Amino acid sequence: MSLQEEIARRRTFAIISHPDAGKTTLTEKFLLYGGAIQTAGAVKSNKIRRGATSDFMEIERQRGISVTTSVMTFPYKDRLLNLLDTPGHKDFAEDTYRTLTAVDSVVLVVDCVKGVEAQTERLMEVCRMRHTPVMIFINKMDLEGRDAFDLLDELEQKLAIHVRPLSWPIGIGATFKGVYDLYRGGLRLFEAGKTKVEHSQVAVSDLGDPVLANTIGADAAAKLREDVELVQGVYDPFDVAAYHSGLLAPVFFGSAFNNFGVKELLETFAELAPQPGPRPTDHGEVRPDEPAFSGFVFKIHANLDPNHRDRIAFLRVCSGRFQRNTFYHHVRLSRPLRFANPTTFLAANKTLVEEAWPGDVVGLFDTGNFKIGDTLTEGANFFFRGMPTFSPEIFRELVNNDPMKSKQLEKGIRQLTDEGVAQLFTQVVGSKKVVGTVGELQFDVIRYRLEHEYNAACSFAPLNLHKACWLTSEDKEALDRFIRAKTTQIVYDKDGAPVYMAPSAYMLDLERRENPAITFHTTSEFKLSTVAAT
Ligand code: G4P
């Protein structure tokens, strides 16, 4: 197959949702259809359960599961789907954001009872920033959920995206009878409890077909006709280009648990979702069909065995063909690297890959050469953009509890933050180390892993900080002046970029007003081009 044909076959995506909306259940049903797993229950939930076991044990359990399900590759009809897993817990939101940089589209699962929840909004923000195409699955239609029109309104308002239903529910909860396929026509009838077998499909020529009333009853048929008329009146016709630009989200209704509406979703997804496209770099766009290989690392997974310090770096191929045992150029280190054992992940089986194509993800064994965001090429010097670091939400000072193990602590914290577990900032005065995360759980992870993998003991002292703001300015003197005046609040990130630790929203606002020559960034996206140049 040619490079173009390989690209045209591939669909690389993630399923995202607020916890409990049904991401794991839907993933499993997709894998069953794709033949990647044979039995229900094969996909373990990567949720962190609080309770019986202590948090870090749960994290270890979750880490063990998540490496095997990191990338699930399965064929569906003439397509090859790469489904990238995202962690379920909100404290690992940053991992999810990074994974979203490696996909070409997403399927968003929304619970019809709960509607749009907090994490759905945040995930959508990241998708909007990157214009990622989104397909929405409204799940749990077998439960007494909200009215379909209300749900669609809420999606539009809270997620700031246009929607277009491609299927329409008939009833909900106890009265849920099935869906009418607005995209292909036809009626699919719901039978509760049918988790594996196909639900019956009834051919109806159009909504006036008497078969409709005979099948679902006259009242339900009349209501469906009314609803569909309203849908056609309110929503513009489905436009694939608008979907591909991330402006319009097609919506499906169903029940993942009952395997209802899943096949329609998967079929439409495989047909409509975008193939791997061009990717922005600091030197312009790279097209997938460019013959020279390029890719970037979006995730690093440490070995679970503390005696083996090696890690797996997940590389998304962006252009050309990746080949085993071939030297590639590590742009940041300016060094050639070769990979003898690159792996792919097919559900639970790791397999050696000889070659990979744009849209694919390969696992590279790493002994410490990679950081999140690193680019590999065939020799060209550019960096893929779009791997933002967000300001952490929680800040703690790292305290060394064993002065004899300072070196281990230093090395451990550097490696863990390279993996993206947390962000590390250093204060020049007193070389205080500040660790920033998006959730409390990461501090448990760091403490546990430092102890078990690096033999170092640490604790964390609370710091009352609001946000980390990367600083830039055209006016170098103004920036230097600000840094000098605020020594105790200035820290440096791992690349040496100055960061202002705002103690409160009020102070940040004040400093912004008083220092108009300085830009205070709460994401580090702006840095990529400058880092590449140095
Ligand atoms: P997540 O990965 O998004 O966190 O959600 P997950 O698939 O684990 O689903 C959360 C819960 O919702 C599970 O129940 C699951 O069985 C249920 N669920 C998923 N889809 C549907 C659906 O279409 N209808 C109904 N009624 N329930 C659904 P649980 O009791 O928390 O877990 P489990 O014991 O069933 O694994």
405-419, pLDDT tens digit by residue? Answer: 999 999 999 888 888
What is the C-alpha radius of gyration for the chain, rounded to an integer number of angstroms?
25
Ligand 1 mean position, distance from CA 141 (Å): 12
Q: Which atom of ligand 1 is nearest to the CA of 260?
A: 23
Distant-in-sequence, close-in-space partners of 38: CB < 8 Å, separation ≥ 6: 32
Q: What predicted TM-score, i.e. pTM, was given to this entire model?
A: 0.86
pLDDT of residue 333: 94
Ligand 1 mean position, distance from CA 402 (Å): 45
Give the closest residue (by CA) to ligand 1 atom 10: 20
Averaged over 201-206, what is the pLDDT? 76
pLDDT of residue 419: 82
Cβ of 89 less than 6 Å from ligand 1? no
The 8-class DSSP code of residue 115 comes to: B
- pLDDT tier, 53 (very low <50, low <70, confident <90, very high otherwise): very low
- pLDDT tier, 87 (very low <50, low <70, confident <90, very high otherwise): confident
Averaged over 318-345, what is the pLDDT? 93
Considering all CA atoms of the chain, what is the largest pairwise distance in Å, rounded to the nearest integer? 83
The more confidently predicted of residues 88 and 70 is: 70
Cβ of 119 less than 6 Å from ligand 1? no
64-79, pLDDT tens digit by residue? Answer: 555 556 788 888 999 9
Ligand 1 mean position, distance from CA 74 (Å): 23
Q: Which of 532, 240, 250 is nearest to 380 (CA)?
A: 532
Q: Look at residue 437 and tell me whether its pLDDT is greater than 50.
A: yes
Cβ of 88 less than 6 Å from ligand 1? yes
Q: Which atom of ligand 1 is nearest to the CA of 18?
A: 3
Average pLDDT, the chain: 86
Ligand 1 mean position, distance from CA 110 (Å): 12
The more confidently predicted of residues 55 and 11 is: 11
Q: Which atom of ligand 1 is nearest to the CA of 21?
A: 3
Averaged over 16-34, what is the pLDDT? 89
Rounded to whole angstroms, the Cα distance separating 447 from 51 reads 19
Cβ of 139 less than 6 Å from ligand 1? yes
pLDDT of residue 510: 96
pLDDT of residue 471: 94
Give, for ligand 1, the residue of 113, 120, 136, 257 to mutate: max count of ligand atoms closer than 8 Å to Cβ.
Answer: 257
Contact 50, 61 (CB under 8 A): no
Q: How much of the chain exceeds pLDDT 70, in percent?
A: 87
Ligand 1 mean position, distance from CA 31 (Å): 16
Cβ of 315 less than 6 Å from ligand 1? no
How many CA atoms within 13 Å lie on the side-chain side of 6? 19
- pLDDT tier, 200 (very low <50, low <70, confident <90, very high otherwise): confident
492-507, pLDDT tens digit by residue? Answer: 998 889 999 999 999 9
Averaged over 271-279, what is the pLDDT? 96
pLDDT of residue 534: 29
For the stretch 222-231, contacts whose Cβ atoms lie closer than 8 Å and that sit 24 or more positions apart, written own/partner, are 223/170, 224/168, 224/170, 224/180, 227/148, 227/149, 227/168, 228/168, 228/180, 228/182, 230/149, 231/165, 231/168, 231/182
pLDDT of residue 305: 62
Rounded to whole angstroms, the Cα distance separating 303 from 198 reads 41
DSSP string, 461-506: EE----EEEEEEES-HHHHHHHHHHTGGGEEE-TT--EEEEESSHH
Averaged over 404-433, what is the pLDDT? 88
Q: Look at residue 63 and tell me whether its pLDDT is greater than 80.
A: no
Q: Look at residue 195 and tell me whether its pLDDT is greater than 70.
A: no
Count Cβ atoms within 10 A of the Cβ of residue 484 and give its class: 0-12 exposed, 13-18 middle, 19 or more buried. Answer: exposed
pLDDT of residue 468: 93
Instruction: Give residue for tokens 């400093």.
Output: 511
30-44, pLDDT tens digit by residue? Answer: 988 887 766 666 565
Ligand 1 mean position, distance from CA 69 (Å): 18
Rounded to whole angstroms, the Cα distance separating 140 from 179 reads 13
Give the closest residue (by CA) to ligand 1 atom 17: 22
Ligand 1 mean position, distance from CA 140 (Å): 9
Ligand 1 mean position, distance from CA 20 (Å): 6
Q: Look at residue 438 and tell me whether its pLDDT is greater than 90.
A: no
pLDDT of residue 211: 84
Q: How much of the chain exceeds pLDDT 90, in percent?
A: 54
Averaged over 243-272, what is the pLDDT? 94
Rounded to whole angstroms, the Cα distance separating 447 from 463 reads 17
334-367, pLDDT tens digit by residue? Answer: 999 999 989 887 544 557 889 999 999 999 988 8
Cβ of 74 less than 6 Å from ligand 1? no
Domains of the chain with bracketed CATH = 15-65+104-272 (3.40.50.300), 279-377 (3.40.50.300), 394-533 (3.30.70.3280)
